[in-house]
Structure 1
Amino acid sequence: MSKKTTENIIKRYKRYLKLERNFSSNTIDAYMYDVEKLLIYCDDKGLDIITMTLDDLQQFAAQLHDIGIGAISQCRVLSGVRSLFRFLQLDAYRDDDPTELLESPKTGEHLPEVLSTEEVDRLEDSIDLTKWEGQRNRAIIEVLFSCGLRVSELVSLTLSNLYLDEQYVRVTGKGSKERLVPISDKAIKELEYWFVDRSHMKIKPGSEDFVFLNRRGGQLTRTMILIMIKRQALEAGILRTISPHTLRHSFATALLKGGADLRVIQALLGHENISTTEIYTHLDDTTIRKEVMAHHPRNMRNFNK
């Protein structure tokens, strides 16, 4: 197969991701980055994606390991490759999908870091409200924790999608899918305090509808929020490595501990598959085990006689 034919197929695949899968630009870029690794491998080995066999793909997977790519990153690359081969079969470039039997490396069970409500309070209480961005940062942390938003959803949150009287926010998630998420009284209060400060800002044209702004009146970036939360964790004496996503995990875990149905949590988080949400059941199991080890008399190392 000629290089030009391959390029045309990849263009069609990219269009498929955009128009039929409705993926965001960032997600499409990630998929194309993974596919590029496969194309480089094919070029080196004199292979093409139309005639690749399962054995060829297993050799490709082995090379990912040999060049030092970690198990989690290998899984991500192979996920992108599977998507490409499903497209090739769907568009009749191939009769089969050799990735159906392609195994991913075992990554081990990795449970995400979570914060307790008390730790979130410490995070917020450590903010210096005498600084212009202080109240904005409190509102950001509280909205992340109270609504379980992705950081990308937070930076794109608009005033026109806030329904504070009804205690809902409209969120645009992955694949441009919208969902309504309840917002707590505390988050609403922190937002209202921030809106007082926001009303005195000079806002850049085009940024008027964004809820959260930087000091120049423009839209915040994900990196800015990541840096802020890491810095605030140090100020609060939280020594674990946390990120904006930690607050999303904490939101889901708090709901599960409170008795919320897993399907409800799935809808609130905007997960397409329930399997993604099920990790929080493992988190809760871990917490239960810690409680038993700490408090059951057969497990306590030190107890009053």
Structure 2
Amino acid sequence: MNWTRYIKDYQSYLKIERGLSKNTIENYAFDIERLCLFLSQNEIEISPVKITEETIQQFIYSVSKEVNPRSQSRIISGLKSFFNYLIFEDYRNDNPLELIESPKTGRKLPDTLSVADIDALIDAINLSSNEGERNRAILETLYGCGLRVSELVALKISDLFFEEGFIKITGKGNKERFVPIGTLTQKYISIYANSVRVHLGIKKGFEDTLFLNRRGSQLTRAMIFTIIKDLASKIKLNKNISPHTLRHSFATHLLENGADLRSIQLMLGHESITTTEIYVHLDRTFLTQVIHAFHPRK
């Protein structure tokens, strides 16, 4: 009944053959270990090769009392992957979760800010400090270009092509894309770079990194979160926001002003347009206006 050996082999498979990150692998293993704990607590002695759909159903029913539908769905998905691996390795010839459906979780719509909210955040920045000029440039870049926070902290001076009106972004999977950058965002980046950054003692290895901390090193993602949370608190913004909120707002405002989804997809660097389509659900009033404005049988 040695689950440990199967789990370790599965983790090696995820790391070597699937190339997954350490955190992702640990999450997959955690779901299987949760099943093992259930079996132990209920004195069910059965190996992963012999476990049945009925036993899995009992486990899922037990889990459903403890976690929300989204977490339950993730557990089911993780276990399906594990048993598919066992089939792949010829340990068993069926997946006991094949007929088990994930609960409907609905689609969580991202938080967005109004243009007035974003203006208020930026206006709350203390520009009398060097960090203020940097933070204004950071918020303008996140919102003006729709970047992920990881893309922002990795942005280099050599990625800026202001004359052409673009910046080069290295996104997920090291895929590069060129994103348009407006003159206002260019202006605030230039002010920061020419009046603040040039006076920092830049550490070796960060000479080309655009946004730096006071010690001349690359900013962390956590620092960007802190900057935005502090500004939201300062203006008493009653919304749970993060750097990603500015990215969502970028896409939403483009859509509201008539941009097409394909263009937004390219700018955001989404692999699939179905990911971008989540923004369609944010403003049904806008979609109604589109129908009335452009459909021949309005």
Instruction: Please report the TM-score for the alignment, with normalisation by the length of structure 1.
Output: 0.80
In 1, distance between residues paired with 2:50 and 2:62? 19
Q: For 1:190-209, what aligned pairs fall within 5 Å after superposition?
A: 190-196=188-194, 197-209=196-208
Q: 1:114 aligns with which of 101, 104, 112?
A: 112
- Deviations 1:81-123 (Å, cap 9, x if unpaired)? 4444555555665544554533222324432211122321221
Matched, 1:230 2:229: yes
| CA-CA distance at 1:280 after TM superposition | 0.8
Deviates most, 180-189 or 167-176: 167-176
Matched, 1:174 2:175: no
In 1, distance between residues paired with 2:182 and 2:89? 46
What letter corresponds to residue 277 of structure 2 in structure 1?
E
Matched, 1:34 2:38: no
- Deviations 1:228-267 (Å, cap 9, x if unpaired)? 1011123234222211111011011112112222222222
Query: Which residue is 2:141 aligned to?
Result: 143
| CA-CA distance at 1:144 after TM superposition | 0.8
The 8 Å contact of residues 42 and 49 in structure 1, kept in 2 or not, is answered as no
- CA separation of 1:248 and 1:56: change in aligned 2, threshold 3 A: farther
| CA-CA distance at 1:130 after TM superposition | 0.6
The 8 Å contact of residues 256 and 286 in structure 2, kept in 1 or not, is answered as no
| CA-CA distance at 1:56 after TM superposition | 4.2
Task: State the secondary structure of the residue aligned to 2:283.
Answer: helix
| CA-CA distance at 1:152 after TM superposition | 1.7
- CA separation of 1:189 and 1:240: change in aligned 2, threshold 3 A: same
Task: State the secondary structure of the residue aligned to 2:169.
Answer: strand
Aligned Cα root-mean-square deviation (Å): 2.6
| CA-CA distance at 1:190 after TM superposition | 1.2
What letter corresponds to residue 30 of structure 2 in structure 1?
E
- CA separation of 1:47 and 1:244: change in aligned 2, threshold 3 A: farther
**% same residue:** 45
- CA separation of 1:200 and 1:239: change in aligned 2, threshold 3 A: same
Query: Which residue is 1:16 aligned to?
Result: 17
- CA separation of 1:123 and 1:6: change in aligned 2, threshold 3 A: closer
In 1, distance between residues paired with 2:92 and 2:273? 30
In 2, distance between residues paired with 1:223 and 1:247? 15
Query: Which residue is 2:163 aligned to?
Result: 165
In 1, distance between residues paired with 2:177 and 2:59? 39
The 8 Å contact of residues 10 and 82 in structure 2, kept in 1 or not, is answered as no
Q: For 1:1-305, what aligned pairs fall within 5 Å after superposition?
A: 2=2, 3-18=4-19, 25=21, 28-42=22-36, 44-45=38-39, 46-66=45-65, 68-89=66-87, 95-196=93-194, 197-285=196-284
| CA-CA distance at 1:153 after TM superposition | 1.7
In 2, distance between residues paired with 1:175 and 1:260? 26
- Deviations 1:36-58 (Å, cap 9, x if unpaired)? 22134236524554555444444
Instruction: Please report the TM-score for the alignment, with normalisation by the length of structure 2.
Output: 0.82
Task: State the secondary structure of the residue aligned to 1:181.
Answer: strand
Task: State the secondary structure of the residue aligned to 1:133.
Answer: helix
- CA separation of 1:10 and 1:119: change in aligned 2, threshold 3 A: same
In 1, distance between residues paired with 2:209 and 2:80? 37
In 2, distance between residues paired with 1:164 and 1:284? 32
Which runs of 5 or more structure 1 residues have no equivalent in the other structure?
290-305
